[in-house]
Amino acid sequence: MLSELLVLLPRFNRLAHLALLGLGLGMSTLVAVAAAQQTIYQQPSPTVRELLDAPALPKHLVSPNKQHLALLELRRFSSLAELARPTLKLAGLRFDEASGLPSQTAATGAIARLRLRPLLNPQAPEQNIDLSALSAGGKSFFHSFSWAPDGQRFLLERRTDKANELWVGNAVSGELRQVNGLRLNNALAQGEIAWLNASELVLLAQVERRAAAPKQPSVPNAPLIRETAGRASPERTHADLLQTPHDERLLEHHALSQLTRVDLRSLQIKRLGAPAMFFSVSSLGEDEALLTERITRPFSYSLTWEDFPQVVEVRRPDGVVLREVARLPLKRGVAINGVLPGPRLFYASPNKDAAVYWVEALDGGNPNNRAAHRDRLMRLDAPYTGEAQELLRLPQRFNSLRFVDDGQHALVSEDDGLRAWTRSYLLALRGGSIRTVFDHSQRERYRHPGSPMMRMSAGGHLLAQTYGGGLLLQGAGASPKGDRPFLDRLSLQDGSVQRLFQSGEAVYAQPLEILGDGRLLSLQESTNQPPSLHVQVLNQPGATSLALTKARPPHPLMRKIRRELISFKRADGVDMSFWMYLPPDYKEGEARATLVWAYPLEFNDAALAGQLSGSTNRYPNFSGLSPLMLVLDGYVVLMDATMPIVGDAKSVNDDFIEQITLSAKAIIDKAEDLGVTDPKRVAIGGHSYGAFMAVNLLAHTDLFKAGIARSGAYNRTLTPFGFQSERRSLWEARDIYLKLSPFLYVNQIKEPLLLIHGDVDDRAGTMPMQSERLYQALSGTGGTARYVLLPLEAHGYTARESVGHVQWEMRQWLRAHLGDPKDMR
């Protein structure tokens, strides 16, 4: 519990000039308030604090053999001490300097509790795996649970002060054993495992007896020079790029990996071949060969590591190279939303043929070029000495390849970016026959066919699952009445579809597995009951289900929150919706202060914009940063309020301001009609692109009393080569970029604005400077604003101290500018 948390921040001296709350207070009062607030982290109301400190609801992980169940509770938050560990930021990567573990895993992936039990026996005692005894007093933590293909063992990784280790667990006894002498290398690829069989795998490890990391030169020995030579190479605005030759040496040092074979029975390891900067390793067929991918020099100071030169190779199981499949160049000179013209996206066949698949562009990689076909799918067969053959030509850009577990088919998907459309084909891998199975808008909800249900094969490959001669498809089952998840079977013979299961109207049930006896395993929840595992007879509507697990609600007040999906139209006829959340103490007829929280989405079809999603039968499980926490402080919250931007993909942003204005007015009018909202006390808020939307609404309308903007981008000239779905560059659509930059209209923002940003935001385009400059502009033009910079936080905030403080900031801001939510004016 952090109920009395006071964290001093003496080393963040730059916070001394951050934004102060403009409430008409005297300067001396402001200075005193600022001094106090800059030295402590505040905490939200006691009720919200209790909810933040409640354990996370467990994740249910079923073993591949469907015999065992792992109940996994993740640590809900990190800590500032964890975030303050030395971190390297290189080529778009962020990882722990000592262990190489990606920062995001350390922030959100730590396991707080692990329990094991037989899947189908709810009366059987649970094995509580005591991870705390192996955590070195909290200095280490376990993460990244995964099952072995046969379900008899499981893997865990443990990050210590100096390394990231591999541990192997027994599914029956729960015994954990460390693989000694092995330090995983996760700098370029976390969890990259090639299963050879149920008890052997190949992974990426640190080089044995690795030398010390290169030291930063005390004195620069040369200027930093960049040069361009007349070739256009538009790049998004990325964070954490390489900047110096020392950065290059550091990346090379930490990215250098050793292919390592691990026997889970004996815990013996064997190093394979020479070290390289590997980022992917996959098994081909049934232990026939390995497919590896690695980056090479030259590096770039304007691209992330994924766009560095790459070498793709087929290797023997002992690591010896059999053939170089492809050598990809540095991805420079590629059009916006374009691809490299040569081979890319490599796949290892899980079938006995052990073939290598990849994709090649037929339009030069440029989406602006006219072409009958944009991509083709290629295959290289074992023993990898011949020429690759073409299997399929795609009219649009390739998206994905999924192998089917019958060993004969694969699902191939393509995307039409201009139409925001997707199409999927069922491809016979050897016969060559092709049949279109899905063809729909990327925004389609009501007629969405679902996605393949995946399973792990005996060889450790994830495959699209078949059952009774058909491909299993699971989907959300969206409809005007809400989501009702389903399980369908798509015939591989004639393409007909049979519905095997659909959730009832009184619960929300997600299909997970079909058991060996034909029964269905599902995850069920309701408004008052958190998700729990159930088993029932398949294809019998209304069949009674047996509960296998039961989770406790984290807080009794959650049951008293009222939630309703509200549908309506805006003035131009476009359908809209929001989720209305009413506080536990709300009484009919109260028009309360309200927060609207939204995120704009683009559509090329107005009918799709109005399709609903979500279910009233879902358990209200709020994330720590969720503005829904404010419901517990008495505010009405209109969550996920739709802000559809409807138009042609090439010019959809031309009337962005006009459309969000129409939407905002419709939202407020509907909430007023319902009698729950005082239209004179409404705030607008959002995170990331939602923050961008919120500030634009404050700049161009007088609809809201105040605003909250977290981690947004407000000056589009700083993202000149596109943003979100905008395909044009600043120089192609100068007026639109300027129109959509609320920074340039800051003198029109008369409402109080709370700006919150992570100090080390890692998202493209949302660097902290975006909020800092907006605050400075507001200050310089007489606006009312508060700028909160969260030390050590990225685009999403993960430390318990930060999350609690953000909730406190939002509550205080609404109370200051909307008043007491219960005050009926």
By annotation, the residues acting in catalysis are 688, 761, 795
Total length of the chain: 825
Under DSSP, the state recorded for 653 is G
- Nearest 5°: phi and psi at 358? -155, 175
Gap between the Cα atoms of 185 and 204, Å rounded: 6
Numbers of helices and strands, H then E, in the chain: 11, 45
Q: Minimal CA–CA distance to 464: which of 520, 406, 414? A: 406
According to DSSP, the β-strands at 575-582 and 562-569 are antiparallel
- The verdict on whether omega for the bond into residue 383 sits within 30 degrees of 0, i.e. cis, is yes
Q: In the chain, what are the helix, strand and coil shares in percent, each to the nearest 5?
A: 20, 35, 45
Handedness of CA 786, 792, 796, 800 (dihedral sign): negative
According to DSSP, the β-strands at 592-603 and 677-687 are parallel
List the structure tokens of 331.
């991805």
Q: In what helix (H) or strand (E) does residue 80 lie, and over which residues does it extend?
A: helix 80-83
Residues 6 or more apart whose Cβ sits within 8 Å of residue 29:
none
Q: In what order do the strands lie in the sheet with 164-170?
A: 141-147, 153-159, 164-170, 176-178
- Is the Cβ–Cβ distance between 25 and 33 less than 8 Å? yes
810 burial type by CB count under 10 A (0-12 exposed, 13-18 middle, 19+ buried): buried
215 burial type by CB count under 10 A (0-12 exposed, 13-18 middle, 19+ buried): exposed
Q: Minimal CA–CA distance to 84: which of 144, 190, 8? A: 8
- Nearest 5°: phi and psi at 561? -75, 130
Gap between the Cα atoms of 188 and 88, Å rounded: 12
Long-range CB contacts (within 8 A, 24+) of 626-631: 627/595, 627/597, 627/685, 627/708, 627/810, 628/581, 629/44, 629/48, 629/51, 629/52, 629/807, 630/595, 630/807, 630/810, 630/811, 630/814, 631/561, 631/581, 631/582, 631/583, 631/584
